[in-house]
Amino acid sequence: MIRRLLFALALAQPLAAQPELTVARGLVHAVPGELPTAIGYLNVAEWSFPLSEAVENAPNTPVSLPTAVFQIRFARGWIMVDAGMDRAHAMAAGDSSEFFDDRYARAIAALRGAGLIVVTHEHYDHIGTVTHSAVANELAPKTMLTRAQMESLLHNSTMTLTPFDSARAGRYIVFDYDRELPIAPGVVLIKAPGHTPGSQMVYVKLASGREVILSGDVTLNHLGIETEKQKPDPAHRVGTVDQAAIAGELAWLHAAERAGVSVVVSHDGAQLETLAREGVLRKGLAAHHRGRAEHN
């Protein structure tokens, strides 16, 4: 009897014990207003690499690795999550990706039309457009950067690859929080240092009831969440990576997914396609201001 009870408890454990998800769910209506209607995305660059470089023990099958920007859409207006980087920046960073100028122009239009911009972390492919591009100064006043992201920008440019100085820091909304922070109806930031010191995830509850977590680069492929495995070669990891923290994050994301949440992996091209087919994400960005959205 006791053994059966213990077994039942052990089974229930992964679904019951997810403080990150419980807290986020509790904050869905913290900011009053209508929940978002959809999440759009656009890949501004794409390249491919062996899956084995993303996930330990995975086959070396080539997989698509895009650089995506995300758009949380409301009835009136939107919030952008991640900003991509311009062509010059992509090339200067030694990126062998295919860069799409037309798509990047659409991403810029969506960033200019956004009410707020947040970034999952301070790597150039997520932050470059808001820190180091022709429109960086224009976007800065509505771009929210955490204190940790700002610290990396100011003091660790080899990691961020975006030259920055303290005079520019004051142009941004710099903020801090310990665990989770609601920023809009149905949108909650979840602190997740590990991949970088300033990494965070974005929990979204849509009006349809669907729950999505934009998980940034905690893993480069969804297989990393399914198997809870990290990159294989420590030599490939940047010095600031905290493997223990990432292990914990992969575990709770895996549990969240088993609880019905869609965990979006920024750089997993195949997963983005699948989620678009399933209606979890929308391909493309709405680029016209305040409700009169036009999809492209």
Residues at the interface with Zn ion (CB under 5 A): 125, 217
List CB contacts of 117: < 8 A, sequence separation 6 or more: 79, 80, 81, 83, 111, 130, 139, 142, 143, 144
Q: Amino acid letter at 95?
A: D
- Whether the Cβ atoms of residue 212 and residue 206 lie closer than 8 Å to each other: yes
The nearest distance, CB 287 to Zn ion, in angstroms, is 23
The nearest distance, CB 162 to Zn ion, in angstroms, is 13
The nearest distance, CB 54 to Zn ion, in angstroms, is 11
The nearest distance, CB 242 to Zn ion, in angstroms, is 16
CB closer to Zn ion, 20 vs 125: 125
The nearest distance, CB 47 to Zn ion, in angstroms, is 12
CB closer to Zn ion, 93 vs 259: 93
CB closer to Zn ion, 148 vs 286: 148
CB closer to Zn ion, 170 vs 239: 239
List CB contacts of 135: < 8 A, sequence separation 6 or more: 108, 111, 112, 129
CB closer to Zn ion, 86 vs 217: 217
CB closer to Zn ion, 125 vs 180: 125
The nearest distance, CB 117 to Zn ion, in angstroms, is 16
